[in-house]
Structure 1
Amino acid sequence: MTSSEPLRRSDALTTGWSDVRIRQALLNGEFERLDRGLYLPSGVASRLDELGRHKVRIRSAARGLTDGAAFSHVSAAVMHGFALWRPDLGRLHITRDGSGGGGRSGGRHVHVGSLPPNEIVDITGIACTSAARTVVDLACTLTVEEAVIAGDSALAADPAVAESIVRLLATTGRRQGIVVARQIVGFLDGRSESAGESLSRLRMKQFSMPSPTLQKTVLDPDGAFVARVDFFWDEFGIVGEFDGMIKYDEGGSDAVRREKRREDTLRDLGYEVVRWTWAELFGFERVRARFERAVARSRR
């Protein structure tokens, strides 16, 4: 065992540790508890975010994974690297082929159902549900917002996942949540490049806004590149931009100036520009009103 490896109680007891020593290591801050019987050196744990800690738990639990079982749902999404919004990482999710014996206990949620071998993939030595199966599982169990964010990121990483999802749904029978899942996966679009853009598309649909073109390249009259914009309504000449502020935080005042020049150029070309922030995704009626005013100006 090295100082960077997790400590499993079962392994520790066979190498001379005792429960008293483990408790002392936890009390003096040498280790942090990640899961039942699983501890990580505090120096390592402090460098990991919640996703990283979940991966450590998965790798530890993988030692006891039975044939025909795979990490699934949010746990598989973590291993695939999907974008996750407000994920509940308290439990490891495992699916095994069968018709009974599932349930929640401790830090595990065991799902049972059909799990064909072609829906299991190996990710760095860990059996996980395939990207398509994971997207469908999430769409069946998460909120619409959470499922769309994860699904969009899956398609952005590999557009071929969309076709795999279609094939999977064609062979999926009755299961809880599948009706809503079919609606969700039909809405997914890998051209959304962030959680904020995915939520923006959902809000546009909820507020009955016309569907925009995503990631539109705007050129000037001479054919020179001007900008690649998040959302574009060609019929109104309106550009929509989700302002996550990350680009400003990373680039400081220079990034702000570049963005202002970019927007000024778009306006000079006759485009209306509508912006919104993360906070406004939860008060989107203001954005809808802003968009309607832009439409009115474009028709003058």
Structure 2
Amino acid sequence: MYKLLSTDDILRLGFNHGDIVRARRCCLRRLSRGTYLVRRVCELDFHRPLWASIDQQIHQVFVDHGDIRDEVNILNASLAAHFSHRADQRTDESKSDPPEEIYSHISDALIHGLPVAYPVTHQIEVVRPGVNRRFKSIQVRGSQIPKAHRATIAGAEVTTLERTLIDVARSYNLDVSVPMFDDALHRELTTREILTTLDRCLEKRNSAKVRLAIDLSDYRRESPAEAVAAVRFYEHGITGLEPQVTFHAESLRRDIRVDFCHRRARLIIEIDGIGKLYLGSGVPRHELEQERRREQWLRDQGWQVIRISWKELFEEAKFYDILCAIRRTQNATA
């Protein structure tokens, strides 16, 4: 859990508003009005009350990756702050109870531990029956959620895992929803019986889109990047690619598992996800050598290997190359 502080918390620690402004240039990040995230341990002893619990390993350091993962992490931290604020409201007898609220969509996906492949919103998403409003940091939807589609986590009301998956698929693109379906199926958190939940939803908007996301999902895929790639294959009309195929490489004395394999075209597709893209010099040299030898073995066996970086998942070029490679094989066979 990250270290989260309200303005009042910081003032009680002996800081004034000018100190808060200066700390925001250092180890403090403003999440929303009156709510702050302690990003790291800094060198200023004056700031020690802010980050002492991080130094003592009670709270986590907020890691700045310098890429799109930071935006998802910030949303997660904002969600935790909102979650905590709501809990305080419920226990403060001097204040009226907060309005009925159910976490939903991307926010609820984070609560359920589902992967968000890339940032699609900076807002916390909740359902308040009969209310449709969009604030700077919160989007309120007025949907009707049946009791059967509700659950409680740590005292907060949320939509069930299945309903969350359906809501995300209904409201967001396939490259957001399919990675979540894949993850839930891979970890056996749900099954394709999710269609039963879909049939019982009061909302019928974009139901065909939800069914398509379910059809495209596959428990064998192991990362959001692979799921995004599978969506791109569908969008470009590429078929015949089987996920997670294993080869026995006797000369290397180990098995080799590839992300996607097109057997007829003798084509291997390897996906370098967001983590690999930004690892840089943090990759141990022997792992780089192992990867090089692995790919060379595949080429020696007559396989063409195409690697797709995270950035290339959102471009056309590599998928055109894949389509051409498959068609060349089909033409040669004909």
Q: Give TM class, smaller chain.
A: 0.7 to 0.9
Q: 2:61 aligns with which of 38, 42, 47?
A: 47
Provide the C-alpha distance between the structure 2 equivalents of 1:264 and 1:69, rounded to a whole number of angstroms: 55
| Matched residue SS, 1:162 | coil
Pairwise CA distance, 1:39: 3.5
Aligned to 2:271: 242
1:267 CA drift (Å) = 2.8
Match of 1:273 in 2: 305
Provide the C-alpha distance between the structure 1 equivalents of 2:246 and 2:107, rounded to a whole number of angstroms.
36
SS in 2 for 1:270: coil
Letter in 2 for 1:114: Q
1:7 corresponds to 2:37: no
Partners of 1:77 and 1:134 within 8 A in 2: yes
**What amino acid does structure 1 have at the position aligned with 2:285?**
S
The answer as to whether partners of 2:124 and 2:138 remain within 8 angstroms in 1 is yes
**In structure 2, what is the equivalent of residue 209 of structure 1?**
238
Displacement after TM superposition at 1:125 (Å): 4.1
1:146 matches 2:176: yes
C-alpha separation in 2, matches of 1:123 and 1:221:
49
In structure 1, the residue matched to 2:108 is 76
- What is the CA–CA distance in structure 1 between the aligned matches of 2:212 and 2:248, rounded to whole Å? 35
Q: Output the CA distance in 2 between the equivalents of 1:178 and 1:294.
A: 33
Letter of the structure 1 residue corresponding to residue 241 of structure 2: P
- For 2:142, what is the secondary structure of its paired residue? strand
Show structure 1 runs of 5+ residues with no match.
none
Assess, with a 3 A threshold, how the Cα gap between structure 1 residues 286 and 108 changes in structure 2: closer, same or farther: closer
Aligned length: 288
**Correspondence list, 1:105-144, <5 A:** 105-144=135-174
Distance 1:214 1:290, change over 3 A: closer
Q: Please tell me whether the aligned partners of residues 238 and 295 of structure 1 are also in contact (alpha carbons under 8 angstroms).
A: no
Deviation at 1:170, TM superposition (A): 1.9
1:62 correspondence with 2:76: no
In the alignment, structure 2 segments of 5+ residues that lack a partner are 41-50, 55-59, 63-72, 91-97
| More moved, 176-185 vs 241-250 | 241-250
Equivalent residue number for residue 171 of structure 1: 200
Aligned-partner SS, 1:149: helix
Q: TM-score, normalised by structure 2?
A: 0.71
* Structure 2 equivalent of residue 38 of structure 1: 35
Whole-angstrom CA distance in 1 between matches of 2:300 and 2:13: 74
The RMSD of aligned alpha carbons is 3.5
Equivalent residue for 2:295, pick from 258, 263, 266: 263
Q: C-alpha distance in 2, partners of 1:164/1:136?
A: 12
1:123 alignment partner AA? I
